[in-house]
Amino acid sequence: MPKIVFDICVIGGGAAGLVVAAGGATLGAKVALVEKHKMGGDCLNYGCVPSKTLLQSAKVAHTIRDAGRYALPASPISPQLGPVMERVADVIKTIEPHDSPERFRSLGVDVILGAGRFTDPHTFHVNGRDITAKRFVIATGSRPAIPDIPGIDSVDYLTNEQVFDLRDNVDSMIVLGGGPIGVELAQAFSRLGSKVYLVQRGPQILPKEDADMAAVVAERLREEGVELLLNHSPEQVQDSHGVIELQLTDANGASKTIRADKLLIAAGRRPNVEQLGLEAAGVALQDGRLVTDARLRTSQKHIYAAGDVVGGHQFTHMAEHHAGVVLRNAIFRLPAKAQTQNVPWATFSDPELARVGLSETEAKHQGIEHRVYAFPFQDMDRARADGTTEGFAKIITTPKGKLLGAAIVGPHAGELIHEYVLAIAKGMKASDLSSVIHIYPTLAQINRRVADARMKEGLTPNAKKWIKRIFGLRG
């Protein structure tokens, strides 16, 4: 075995890798961090940060056009994509120093910029150096999955890795994929003046969500001019004199061709595991994915994986969770396990859609005895005052009222869901939320109101009869 130099070698400078590197160095470990492209990974450069920045500009443009509903003068503005994307770039630049090589070197991390590969289970070769370590962490992230469509290699398509480089206005765009990335970017470009076609193979957008919740987002997209082509499968694509032509087939076998200036592919992700020398390291793959246990160890127990490369829930907050699990295992030798249940997430469309725990659809498919309670935003005073009454909150409970899951589609759903995240993690019942005082008037009151629906269910006519009799009520 070669002489060991580092305690931990982290491969990949995205969310998971950066947390492991910073945490390990802070705890006193000697850490090497290898990044072949951009520090900050997908989240900073192509994902969370740029997309949410773009969405905010698009929302402001929409609000200006729609100001009449707030009794203010509306303006038919025509946004210029160039300045909007420059703002996106500027926001990225403000965050970059936190993820920069200089910051991590100041923490004592040996940052190596370059592509490398394992040459044996304890050695990673990069830039002519052999990095040896007791523990390795593969945190190489994921990349857009490109569907196998005839002609796809002949067109200049976009993914989330190129879309934020656009500077000229886009008159029309085809978005291929109705998951969170596709939905968010479809709405953003529509609000910024593009004619958008959103193509989804299945019967609904956001297929991991309950149909009634996804329908609220779909209806808003249609109202704003996004053309939803559900149950449509791409058959062929070509570039016709600078225009993208996509041939589709619907569920009945009928063909349709749509044309646009740009094609954005948002059809899922695939882990970055190629060209890492995993075979030399003895790290096993199955169906192109790393084989990991609950402690995020690969088939080589001293080599861990964290973040998107693991698969499953590919969110930045899960990458950070993975990093904590790896640190507890790699440094403190604790048998920490990655959490796979009650993981919250949100689609930052307008309205937003957020969920944690079991969905109604999952409860039905798994044969879990459950109850469902819902409450609409249109009955919330703050939502009426804000003019944001679309959507509702829904909870799934056991017959005895223990919370199994919660979902919200509506304003600020991504913020409101956290009360349920805590409640479910602590095994609470709906009655626990119902008994907590919520500030009036706030949108967060909907969390108590939907819990109240569970409490009111118990007030049957017979129960009311006995209450009147026992307490001598006269109503």
pLDDT at 472: 79
pLDDT at 464: 64
For residue 460, pLDDT over 80 is answered with no
- Kindly indicate the confidence band of residue 164, based on its pLDDT and cuts at 50, 70 and 90: very high
Is the N-terminal amide bond of 461 cis, ω within 30° of 0?
Answer: no
pLDDT at 471: 76
For residue 459, pLDDT over 70 is answered with no
Hey, do 6-144+270-330 and 152-267 end up sharing a CATH topology, with the first three levels equal? yes
Q: pLDDT by residue (tens digit) across 245-254?
A: 999 999 999 9
- Evaluate the CA torsion angle 199, 88, 162, 52 in order and state its sign: negative
Q: Residue 473: what residue type? A: L
Task: For 359-386, give the secondary structure using H, E and C.
Answer: CHHHHHHCCCCCEEEEEEHHHCHHHHHH
Q: pLDDT by residue (tens digit) across 418-457?
A: 999 999 999 999 999 999 999 999 999 999 999 999 888 7
| DSSP 8-class letter at 271 | E
CA angle 245, 221, 142 (to 5 degrees): 65
- Kindly indicate the confidence band of residue 282, based on its pLDDT and cuts at 50, 70 and 90: very high
pLDDT at 216: 98
pLDDT at 22: 97
Q: What is the mean pLDDT of residues 26-55?
A: 96
Q: pLDDT by residue (tens digit) across 296-347?
A: 999 999 999 999 999 999 999 999 999 999 999 999 999 999 999 899 999 9
- Kindly indicate the confidence band of residue 183, based on its pLDDT and cuts at 50, 70 and 90: very high
Q: What is the mean pLDDT of residues 142-171?
A: 97
Q: pLDDT by residue (tens digit) across 380-428?
A: 999 999 999 999 999 999 999 999 999 999 999 999 999 999 999 999 9
459 burial (CB, 10 Å; 0-12 / 13-18 / 19+) is exposed
Domain parsing of the chain, residue ranges: 6-144+270-330, 152-267, 351-457
Nearest to 267 by CA among 143, 432, 163: 143
For residue 355, pLDDT over 80 is answered with yes
pLDDT at 463: 65
For residue 49, pLDDT over 90 is answered with yes
CATH fold for domain 351-457: Enolase-like; domain 1 (3.30.390)
Identify the three-state secondary structure at position 433.
helix
Identify the three-state secondary structure at position 444.
coil
Task: Give the tokens for residue 174.
Answer: 């085809």
CATH fold for domain 152-267: FAD/NAD(P)-binding domain (3.50.50)
What is the number of alpha carbons within 13 Å of residue 55 lying toward its C-beta?
A: 20
Q: Which positions ≥6 away from 325 have C-beta within 8 Å?
A: 295, 296, 306, 336, 337, 338
Q: What is the mean pLDDT of residues 207-220?
A: 98
> DSSP labels for 189-225?
HHHTT-EEEEEESSSSSSTTS-HHHHHHHHHHHHHTT
For residue 458, pLDDT over 80 is answered with no
CATH fold for domain 6-144+270-330: FAD/NAD(P)-binding domain (3.50.50)
Identify the three-state secondary structure at position 343.
coil
Q: pLDDT by residue (tens digit) across 263-274?
A: 999 999 999 999
CB atoms within 10 A of CB 267: 22
pLDDT at 199: 98
Considering the entire predicted model, what is its pTM?
A: 0.95
Q: pLDDT by residue (tens digit) across 214-234?
A: 999 999 999 999 999 999 999
Q: What is the mean pLDDT of residues 91-104?
A: 96
Look over the chain and give the mean of its residue pLDDT values, rounded to a whole number: 95
Helix (H) or strand (E) holding 15: helix 15-26
CA 50 to CA 44: how far, in whole Å? 7
Q: What is the mean pLDDT of residues 48-56?
A: 97
